[in-house]
Amino acid sequence: MRFLKKFLSRPSTMLASAVVVVVVLLAITAPLVSPWDPVRVFSGLRNAPPFIPGHILGTDQAGRDILSRLIWGARVTLVMGTVPVVLSMVIGTLLGLIAAYYAGAFDFAILRLMEVLFAFPLVLLAVLAAAVFGNGMVNAMLAMAVAMVPYVIRAVYAAAKPAMELTYVEASIIRGASASHVMLAEILPSIFPSLVVFATSMIPLFIIFAAGLSYLGVAIQPPTPEWGLMIAEGQQVIQVASHVPTVPGLVLLVVCFCLNVVSDHLQRELDPRMRQRHGARPPAGG
């Protein structure tokens, strides 16, 4: 609790966290708060500008309410941003721990394999993976997770390798701890904060990533609302109704920015505290 208090002590963090929380809540309660059905077409009201009665953000090129599509689209976007991160963190952490613990051949094999994947730009990798898995939200998420795994492994390996030299890790090995115990109960807790920070900084990246894939037509298909898709489709009418692609674009920008701020401040809070915890000595008077 004290941690939360300290974390939220800066106004910028409070604001950014509030934004994120609001967006998440809206996404969760979409059926309740959304004014309209996101795929409902209001014939005769295409490209309607914002602030007209009933449609505070206007309508898009097909005549659908933008606000509703934003709220429902939040679900898709947030899920597509978070699930692949979680998935790749789980897989990547395991592989990274294994590479750090076993060293030798494992180390070599896993890292060299990852280097092959690093050679490809992230988006290209995802597109290729999507080509293999096929279109659709689930497949897109799988593709993104796979593309992300090498980066996770690299981050985990970089943190876990020096952790192998920690005295208490050596002590555990000497007392006959199994490999899984050392990796999960000794090393993982010590690198956990940096992994949390890493993951939370990846979420906004993945949201953009997902939006980008949808933009490319790889992930989400119309009429499903998704922020990236809304931007892509709205591009066609940018001359006559600039709000159609711009509003989702701005929303995307703001949400990702706030997520970045939260992750940044999380890092600042977690890292020095961990360092302090390890080195702390109780004050004494003798």
Partner 1 sequence: MNGSPAIFDIRDVSKSFPVRAGTLRRITGWLKAVDRVSLSIPRNCIVGLVGESGSGKTTLGRLLVKLLEPTSGEILFEGKAITRLDRAERHRFRKNVQMLFQDPFLSLNPYKTVFQTLAYPLRAHGLAQRSDLGRKVDQLLDQVGLESATANAYPHELSGGQRQRVSLAAALAVEPRFIFCDEPVSALDMSARAQVLNLLREIQRKHELTLLIVSHDLSAIEYVCDEASVLYLGGIVERANKENLFARPRHPYTEALMSAVPDPDPDHQRQEIILEGEIPSPANPPSGCKFHTRCPKKIGAICESTAPLLRRVSAAHEVSCHLFAETTQQAFRPAGAEGHGRPSSQTLARTNCKSASGGRSLQ
Partner 2 sequence: MTDQQPMLVARDLNMHLVFDNEVAKVVDNVSLVVRKGEVLGIVGESGSGKSMLALSLLGLPPQPYGKIVGGNVTYRGIDLLNPASARTVVGKRIGMVFENPGASLDPCYRIGDQITETIHAHEEIDKRGARERAIELLTLVGIADPVATFSSYPHQLSGGMQQRTGIAIALSGNPEMLVADNPTSSLDVTIQAQIMRLIEDLRVRLGLTVVWITNNMGVVAKVCDRVAVIYAGQIVEYGRVRDVLKKPGHPYTQALLQASPRIHDQQPLIPLRGNPPSFTDLGSGCRFAARCPKVVARCREADIELRALRAGHEARCILMGQSS
Q: Which residues bind partner 2 (CB under 8 A)?
A: 282-286
Angstrom CA distances, 49 to 6, 33, 45, stand at 43, 21, 9
Judged by CB, which is closer to partner 1: 119, or 185? 185
- Evaluated on CA atoms 154, 159, 165, 169, the torsion sign reads negative
Judged by CB, which is closer to partner 2: 176, or 285? 285
Judged by CB, which is closer to partner 1: 49, or 189? 189
The rounded Cα 131 to chain-centroid distance in angstroms is: 22
| Cα–Cα distance for residue pair 196/231, rounded to 1 Å | 30
| Cα–Cα distance for residue pair 110/117, rounded to 1 Å | 11
Q: Residue 116 binds which one of partner 2, partner 1, none, with CB within 5 to 8 A depending on kind?
A: none
Q: Residue 186 binds which one of partner 2, partner 1, none, with CB within 5 to 8 A depending on kind?
A: partner 1
Per the structure block, which two tokens stand in for 79? 């899920």
The least CB distance from residue 107 to partner 1, in Å, is: 17
The least CB distance from residue 235 to partner 2, in Å, is: 53
Q: Are 72 and 38 in contact (CB under 8 A)?
A: yes
Q: Residue 117 binds which one of partner 2, partner 1, none, with CB within 5 to 8 A depending on kind?
A: none
The least CB distance from residue 118 to partner 1, in Å, is: 22
Q: Residue 283 binds which one of partner 2, partner 1, none, with CB within 5 to 8 A depending on kind?
A: partner 2
Instruction: Determine the Cα angle at 83 with ends 155 and 224, to 5°.
Output: 140
CB atoms within 10 A of CB 18: 12
Q: Residue 47 binds which one of partner 1, partner 2, none, with CB within 5 to 8 A depending on kind?
A: none
Q: Are 231 and 245 in contact (CB under 8 A)?
A: yes
Judged by CB, which is closer to partner 1: 44, or 165? 165
The least CB distance from residue 2 to partner 2, in Å, is: 12
Residues 6+ apart with CB under 8 A from 53: none
Site string for partner 1, 157-196 (x = CB under 8 A): ---------xxx-xxxxxxxxx--x---xx--xx------
Q: Interface with partner 1 includes 108 (CB under 8 A)?
A: no
Q: Residue 268 binds which one of partner 2, partner 1, none, with CB within 5 to 8 A depending on kind?
A: none
The least CB distance from residue 7 to partner 2, in Å, is: 18
The least CB distance from residue 59 to partner 2, in Å, is: 55
Judged by CB, which is closer to partner 1: 6, or 277? 277
Chain contacts with partner 1 (rule: CB under 8 A): 166-168, 170-178, 181, 185-186, 189-190, 277-282, 284, 286
